[in-house]
A and B are shown apart, each in its own frame.
Chain A
Amino acid sequence: QSVLTQPPSVSAAPGQKVTISCSGSSSNIGRNFVSWYEQLPGTAPKLLIYDNNKRPSGIPDRFSASKSGTSATLGITGLQTGDEADYYCGTWDSSLSAWVFGGGTKLTVL
């Protein structure tokens, strides 16, 4: 049981848009910045979004994110088959003194 809650899976057609939610609490998302990670099949996770909505260099602007209260959302537009991956939200939990992740969301581009 993950501290952060994500939908297990989402799907959309190529070229469409999808959003992935991440729900937490006042001790984690509510008071700390959120990051998002992309894990392509068989590879290590890669940083996609940091500080709630910032993209590292090299990440296309098709990827965006936001945070409101104790929830965060990742958005991907112009879906490509290469976007098929598992996506994880993560943040620091101030009560647990621990990094916490969501359970991950598998994106399928139909």
Chain B
Amino acid sequence: QVHLVQSGAEVKKPGASVKVSCKASGYTFTDDYIHWVRQAPGQGLEWMGWINPKNDGTNYAERFQGRVTMARDTSISTAYMELTRLTSDDTAVYYCARDGAHSVGAVWAFDIWGQGTMVIVSS
């Protein structure tokens, strides 16, 4: 069965950085892009960017450019998302999600999601 399992909740101070991991299982990790999406409390979904695990290519949403870095370790089928210079506005649940280009044949359809990682930014 296909799974994405994320790291646990984090509490950070303003100005700090956070790194969230997303471990894939049940499929070939390098076959599908991994996207990162966040959701602030009571708010909607916000796409942050993607990483291509095959070649480490990335594409970030404009509003996160310069603050986000996505990476992967193919040896352990794990993707990472690091966000720097945190503010209280970054308090949110962060999700990784698999692109369904291979599984359902639809690019940008996120067919498998991680369970989410709560990041709280507070002084």
The answer to whether A binds B is no
| Residues on A facing B (Cβ under 8 Å) | none
| Residues on B facing A (Cβ under 8 Å) | none
